[in-house]
Amino acid sequence: MKAENPVIDAITTRRSVRQFTKEPVSDEAVDQILESGLWAPSGKNNQPWKFAVIRDLTLKEPLAGLTHSRSIIQGAAVCIAVFLDHTRVYDRTKDVQAAGACIQNMLLTIHSLGLGGIWLGEILKNKEKVAKLLGAGEDLELMAVVAIGWPAKRSGAGERDSLEKRVLCRR
């Protein structure tokens, strides 16, 4: 069962990219990435996300200083901070799951455009500082920062457990 399927190909060939060239990323590409985030499923279709797009060095530098992944942010052409919008939430677990779906949609679109991206979570230890830096109000809670650029090198094949290891039962 190996028919060509662009969605499955994108899912399996997407890898985290942590090193980027200096080539710029267009606003058009960024809009396409954000748009893909918007199309993620969410409970009751509440769309509990809000985005901040960060290109400016005056923001990127202090943002980089808030994570061990400093050099990734410094090397990225653009970063997107994804927030959970507390004015729209109705069930924390479901809303956080929706934010995750939104981020994965963006990563897959980044990959499909030939760009590279990385989901940065370690920065969450400083989520309040990130929110303040980006002028986000009390209602916005950082879920992740996605760093984006043109990949500096080819990614490897990646590794995952076998299905046998991860399927509890089939009856």
Ligand X SMILES: Cc1cc2nc3c(=O)[nH]c(=O)nc-3n(C[C@H](O)[C@H](O)[C@H](O)COP(=O)(O)O)c2cc1C
Q: Phi first, then psi: what are they for 27, rounded to 5°?
A: -60, -35
Q: Rg of the chain over CA atoms, in angstroms?
A: 17
* C-alpha dihedral, 159 to 160 to 162 to 166, nearest 10°: 160
Q: Phi first, then psi: what are they for 35, rounded to 5°?
A: -60, -40
The answer to whether residue 158 forms part of the interface with ligand X (CB under 6 A) is: yes
- Residue 68 CB, shortest distance to ligand X, in Å, is 7
- Residue 125 CB, shortest distance to ligand X, in Å, is 10
Residue number closest to ligand X, CB atom: 121
Q: Which of residues 91-130 bind ligand X (CB under 6 A)?
A: 118-122
Q: Which two tokens stand for residue 166?
A: 């991860």
Instruction: Name the residue nearer to ligand X (CB basis): 53 or 101.
Output: 101
Q: Which of residues 62-91 bind ligand X (CB under 6 A)?
A: 69
- Residue 100 CB, shortest distance to ligand X, in Å, is 7
The answer to whether residue 137 forms part of the interface with ligand X (CB under 6 A) is: no
CA nearest 106: which of 144, 75, 66, 56?
A: 144
Q: Which of 10, 16, 86, 112 binds ligand X (CB under 6 A)?
A: 16
* C-alpha dihedral, 86 to 87 to 89 to 95, nearest 10°: -50
The answer to whether residue 41 forms part of the interface with ligand X (CB under 6 A) is: no
Q: Which two tokens stand for residue 113?
A: 């455009």
